[in-house]
Amino acid sequence: MKLVRYGKRGDETPGILDDEGRIRDLSGHVDDIAGCVLEPAGLAKLAKINPAKLPLAPEGQRLGAPVAGAGKILCIGLNYKMHASETGAEVPSEPLLFQKAVSAINGPYDDIVIPRTSTKTDWEVELGVVIGAPAKYVSEEEALSHVAGYLILNDVSERDFQKNRAGQFTKGKSCDTFCPIGPWLVTADEIADPQNLTLRTLVNGEVRQNGHSSDMLHPVAKLISYLSQFMSLLPGDIIASGTPDGVGAGMKPPQFLKAGDEIVMSIDGLGEQRARLVADR
Task: Find the CATH number of the domain harbouring 244.
Answer: 3.90.850.10
**Are residues 13 and 113 both part of a single domain?**
no
**Are residues 128 and 202 both part of a single domain?**
yes
**Are residues 147 and 38 both part of a single domain?**
no
Within-domain flag for 191:
yes
| Residue 88: predicted pLDDT | 73
**Are residues 48 and 132 both part of a single domain?**
no
Within-domain flag for 229:
yes
| Residue 81: predicted pLDDT | 84
Within-domain flag for 128:
yes
Within-domain flag for 60:
no
**Are residues 118 and 201 both part of a single domain?**
yes
**Are residues 48 and 186 both part of a single domain?**
no
**Are residues 108 and 162 both part of a single domain?**
yes
Whole-prediction pTM:
0.97
| Residue 140: predicted pLDDT | 98
**Are residues 167 and 35 both part of a single domain?**
no
Q: How far apart are CA 228 and CA 244, in angstroms?
A: 24
SS (H, E, C) the chain: CEEEEECCCCCCEEEEECCCCCEEECCCCCCCCCHHHHCHHHHHHHHCCCHHHCCECCCCCCECCCCCCCCCEEEEECCEHHHHHHHCCCCCCCCEEEEECHHHEECCCCCEEECCCCCCEECCEEEEEEECCCECCCCHHHHHHHEEEEEEEECCEEHHHHHHCCCCCHHHHCCCCCEEECCCEEEHHHCCCCCCCEEEEEECCEEEEEEEHHHECCCHHHHHHHHHCCCCECCCCEEECCCCCCCHHHCCCCCCCCCCCEEEEEECCCEEEEEEEEECC
| Residue 167: predicted pLDDT | 81
| Residue 5: predicted pLDDT | 98
**Are residues 170 and 40 both part of a single domain?**
no
Q: How far apart are CA 210 and CA 98, in angstroms?
A: 24
| Residue 168: predicted pLDDT | 81
**Are residues 186 and 90 both part of a single domain?**
yes
| Residue 82: predicted pLDDT | 75
Could you list the pLDDT tens digit for every one of the 281 residues in the chain? 999 999 999 999 999 999 999 999 999 999 999 999 999 999 999 999 999 999 999 999 999 999 999 999 999 999 998 787 777 778 888 999 999 999 999 999 999 999 999 999 999 999 999 999 999 999 999 999 999 999 999 999 999 999 999 888 999 999 999 999 999 999 999 999 999 999 999 999 999 999 999 999 999 999 999 999 999 999 999 999 999 999 999 999 999 999 999 999 999 999 999 999 999 98
Number of domains within the chain: 2
pLDDT digits (tens, 9 = 90+) for 73-123: 999 999 998 787 777 778 888 999 999 999 999 999 999 999 999 999 999
Domain carrying residue 82: 73-279
Within-domain flag for 66:
no
**Are residues 138 and 11 both part of a single domain?**
no
| Residue 13: predicted pLDDT | 98
